[in-house]
Amino acid sequence: MGLQNEEKLELGCSGSQPRSKKWVLLTVRVIAFLATATATLVMALNKETKTLVVAMVGSTPIKVTLTAKFQHTPAFVFFVIANGMASFHNLMMIMVELFGQKLDYKGLRLAMIAILDMTTVALISGGASAATFMAEVGKNGNSHARWNKICDKFETFCDRGGVAIIASSAGLILMLIITAMSIFKLLNKPKSVSS
């Protein structure tokens, strides 16, 4: 009888650490959600319109109005979709952390979370890499392919795109941390105690 009470006491004391780890993971996940949602919204709302002089006929300038939008570049479209999906994933995982203890089926919840976190890391990495490449081309151009730079004409568009890429990179780093924590949590899950 005394041994069972000591075991219950030990189990009660060890329960405080996982609770604090749960809140650390939850806090990091909320920050990652905010970072990826910010990246999604900033890039999705990124648009700039300018009127540029394209030629001169005598002393009369020929002007054309051009608009730079994220939809014009497939890499930026993928960036928005990838970060939007990562935001949705983080939002769903926040709900699972808060309310999903009942959803565990034979201990598979932690494994599924770890797998989905790794998939989300790959998704954000691909989107951020593609957008970073296109931002580099937009900033410096490519003389070999004869692609002109556009950031000297659409400064605001490029600045906002840079902010979105920085937010996505921050979300990527946070998701790497979350993935490591999820795997660690999976490997160190308590063994089921049978009576």
pLDDT in tens, 186-195: 888 766 555 4
As a whole number of angstroms, the distance between CA 96 and CA 3 comes to 35
pLDDT digits (tens, 9 = 90+) for 82-134: 999 999 999 999 988 888 777 666 667 888 888 999 999 999 999 999 999 99
Instruction: Please state whether beta strands 47-57 and 60-69 pair in parallel, antiparallel, or not at all (unpaired).
Output: antiparallel
pTM of the model: 0.80
As a whole number of angstroms, the distance between CA 177 and CA 32 comes to 10
Dig out the tokens for 67 from the structure. 């608009």
The four Cα atoms 171, 28, 108, 92 give a dihedral, to 10 degrees, of -70
Do 73 and 90 meet the contact criterion of CB atoms below 8 Å apart?
Answer: no
